[in-house]
Amino acid sequence: MTRRAPPTALLLLRVTDLTIQPNVHVTIDYELRDDEGDMLEESAGEGGEPIRYVHGYGMLVPGLEAALLGLSAGDVRDVVVPAEAGYGEYDDDLLLELDRSELPDPKGVAVGDEFIAESPDGDEIAMSVVEVRDDMVLVDANHPLAGMTLRYHVTVRDIRPATDDEIKEAAAQLDDAHEHVHGPDCDHDHDHDPVPIGKRSVN
């Protein structure tokens, strides 16, 4: 006589066999290196932590999220993400001159400072200061990793069905996403109100 496994065993089997699909909550450990192999960031580094996200809502760069589809807990992968599938190509037109008086701290502004600016259409854009002049400041609105080929080494630590609240939050973040892309290392200063750039367009 064949004995059937108890329902709990069947449930555990389904959970164990879960793969990365839309509406699944994923935890991954990672290392991120540039095209020369230099370490940019890692979950095991100082201040680092695993990436936790709900799959299918653009919470990762497109090339990495696509490569994780179908993986299981315990899987290890090396993923190469070209610039166009990462943070985009570097755009020289995003090097902008701003009047120094427009910045939150005109006297204390220094190279490397980061802040959020508001475009004429109301979009928020992350910028970093690359040069300080007498009355003007040169800022870069490209993402720090724009134009770079990104090399990820990832380990899938955990996969589980996302909760309804997690799915709603992921969907809301997708709807409200900034024009710039935030990665795991996002450390832009959001304490100040966005700096307006030019005049808002009138429809």
Q: What is the pLDDT of residues 108-162, one digit of tens each?
A: 999 999 888 877 777 778 889 999 998 999 999 999 999 999 999 999 999 999 9
**H or E element at residue 16:** helix 7-16
Full residue range of the structural domain in which residue 136 is found:
92-140
Residue 4 has pLDDT above 80, yes or no: no
Across 56-60, 68-72, 130-134, 183-187, least confident range: 183-187
Residues 6+ apart with CB under 8 A from 76: 153, 154, 155, 156
Residue 112 belongs to a domain with what CATH number? 2.40.10.330
Q: What's the full length of the chain, in residues?
A: 203
Same domain, residue pair 161 and 82: yes
Same domain, residue pair 23 and 77: yes
The tally of domains found in the chain comes to 2
pTM comes to: 0.72
The one-letter code for the residue type at 26 is V
SS3 15: helix
Same domain, residue pair 81 and 150: yes
